[in-house]
Amino acid sequence: MTTSTPKIAIILGSTRPERKGLAVADWVMKQAASRPATYELIDLRDHPLPLLDEPIPPSMGQYQNEHTKAWAEVIAPYDGYVFVTPEYNHATSGVLKNAIDYLYAEWNNKACAFVGYGSLGGARAIENLRAIASELQMAHVRQQVSLSLYTDFENFTDLAPAEQHDEAVQTMFEQLESWATALRTVRA
């Protein structure tokens, strides 16, 4: 088992024009700057994937398409993930769900956490992602961050998180880093 600090990906789950998610992901990155783990941002705009087009289920580990193999290489090295998700129609975004669905083993026995945003703080999108993470054998931590368009954004546009989110995100990081480190033994 390696004693190095955990490597965590912050996955931005929105590719829409005028998206609020980039400001949220940047805020998460800023909050993670003093953490002992290594945090890196993965913007799904930089990894365009067609709608899932693999002929064999990802759980079989027989990826056929080059874009799938490239995506697997991006995701595999991480010990854990923070999914930054908008809430669309009581669920996560289609682009994030599609990116997750492409892979299987790359997600297994790793830790994840969630930062949601929307009219109800992205809470339903986070619950949606918790079920998906469970199916992929990911350990999701209890603490989440839910940013409301009504109270954490000025004029529903500019991110201005309430002060209590600073403590919540640090608790989330502590839980995530602990689980990400512990799950290395499971993967070994």
For residue 178, give the nearest of 143, 128, 127, 136 by alpha carbon.
143
Q: Report whether pLDDT(1) > 50.
A: no
Domain boundaries, the chain: 7-187
To the nearest 10°, report the CA torsion of 125, 39, 78, 173. Answer: -60
The 10s digit of each residue's pLDDT in 58-117 is 999 999 999 999 999 999 999 999 999 999 999 999 999 999 999 999 999 999 999 999
Q: Determine the average pLDDT of the residues in 176-181.
A: 98
Burial of 168 (0-12, 13-18, 19+ CB in 10 A): middle
Dist CA 4 CA 162 (whole Å) = 33
Report strand pairing: 80-86 vs 111-118.
parallel
7-187 has which CATH code? 3.40.50.360
For residue 72, give the nearest of 96, 103, 47 by alpha carbon.
103
